[in-house]
Amino acid sequence: MSITNLNPHQLTAPPLAALVNSWKAQFTRSTAYTYRCALRRFLLWVDKLHQTDHAASLPKLPIPLARTVTADDAEFQRLYFLADNWMRAILLLTRTLGLRHSEALAITPRHLDKHSMTVSFPRKCEGTSQLPLSNDLAQLFAAAQAIDPDQPIVTTLRGHSVSRSAVGAHFNALKRRARVNPALHIHDLRRTAATRVYEETADLRVAQQLLGHTRLETTLHYLGTIDTNKLRDAVTRTAPQLTTLDTMPPASEAKQ
């Protein structure tokens, strides 16, 4: 059905609820919640256009817990050692620059500024990121530039284009061969990059810039739960040095 020809009266509560519940049964908690949010935004637009109230009929879904899986250095080294060159390019772009693997598939040597040694590219939602290259990535860009400066780097190294599903399948096979955490997803390499940058800089805005998020709250959710011991140490170090209670004068004397 075309959106322009949409009849708002064809949208009724039972089918909408059934659709959301089917997502809940079929997909992960995070995916179902994302789909439900997108549907709600669409229905709010329909409600505003036709003075209806369909968005209110959607059943609620629990907010997904923040994913916290990351790859340690030993795991990444095993993955990198066993990977083909084109897959190594994806591993480096996701783990070092925090790119989504769909973004990594689109990067070409033309995105490189040789003077500043930074790569500039459009992000998923809006805007452009400009990120510095590591030595390994600089060599990768140089090798691809010599072959075909206009082709995506991964395509050049593979010899033909690569789909997102193919990347996922190759990563899963590589993960089994490397004997790393079975729960590790390729998207977790992006989270790993952001987490390591945040741990190094203690600046949430740097992690936000790396990930290309427009909202700081998204980056906060992305990084997951803060380690309780780190939080306790930080509170202890930054607490004001107050006079101990047994040496403080009574409040009545202190006011005089």
8 Å CB contact between 181 and 170: no
Residues 80 and 205 in one domain: yes
Residue 233 located in a structural domain: no
Residue 140 located in a structural domain: yes
Q: What is the pLDDT of residue 26?
A: 87
Give dist(CA 36, CA 30) in Å, integer.
10
Q: CB-based contacts of 71: which residues, under 8 Å, 6+ apart?
A: 79, 95, 180, 181, 184, 188, 189, 192
Mean pLDDT, residues 79-92 taken together? 94
Mean pLDDT, residues 46-51 taken together? 86
Local confidence band at 2 (pLDDT 50, 70, 90 cut-offs): very low
Percent of the chain with pLDDT over 70: 84
Residues 119 and 211 in one domain: yes
Residue 239 located in a structural domain: no
The total domain count for the chain is 2
Q: What is the pLDDT of residue 4?
A: 47
Q: CB-based contacts of 184: which residues, under 8 Å, 6+ apart?
A: 69, 71, 75, 175
Q: Which long-range contacts (CB under 8 A, 24 or more apart) does 37-41 make?
A: none
Q: What is the pLDDT of residue 3?
A: 44
Given a cut of 80, whether residue 66 has pLDDT beyond it is no
Q: pTM, whole model, 2 decimals? A: 0.70
Q: Which two tokens stand for residue 253?
A: 């004397």
Residues 97 and 183 in one domain: yes
DSSP state letters, 159-187: SS---HHHHHHHHHHHHHHHT--TT--TH
Residue 252 located in a structural domain: no
- Report the chain's mean pLDDT, rounded to a whole number: 84
Residues 42 and 134 in one domain: no
Q: What is the pLDDT of residue 155?
A: 95
Residues 36 and 109 in one domain: no
Residues 132 and 206 in one domain: yes
Residues 25 and 97 in one domain: no
Residue 63 located in a structural domain: no
8 Å CB contact between 153 and 141: yes
**pLDDT tens column, 171-216:** 999 999 999 999 999 999 999 999 999 988 888 899 999 999 888 8
Residues 117 and 23 in one domain: no
User: Range of 31's domain?
Assistant: 3-57
8 Å CB contact between 97 and 160: no
CATH number of the domain encompassing residue 178: 1.10.443.10
Q: What is the pLDDT of residue 154?
A: 95
Residue 79 located in a structural domain: yes
Q: Which two tokens stand for residue 1?
A: 């059905």
Q: What is the pLDDT of residue 1?
A: 40
Q: What is the pLDDT of residue 31?
A: 83
Given a cut of 70, whether residue 245 has pLDDT beyond it is no
Residues 48 and 121 in one domain: no
Residues 25 and 77 in one domain: no
Local confidence band at 251 (pLDDT 50, 70, 90 cut-offs): low
Residue 45 located in a structural domain: yes
Residue 30 located in a structural domain: yes
Residues 109 and 213 in one domain: yes
Residues 40 and 123 in one domain: no
Given a cut of 60, whether residue 125 has pLDDT beyond it is yes
Percent of the chain with pLDDT over 90: 40
Given a cut of 80, whether residue 96 has pLDDT beyond it is yes
Q: What is the pLDDT of residue 123?
A: 83
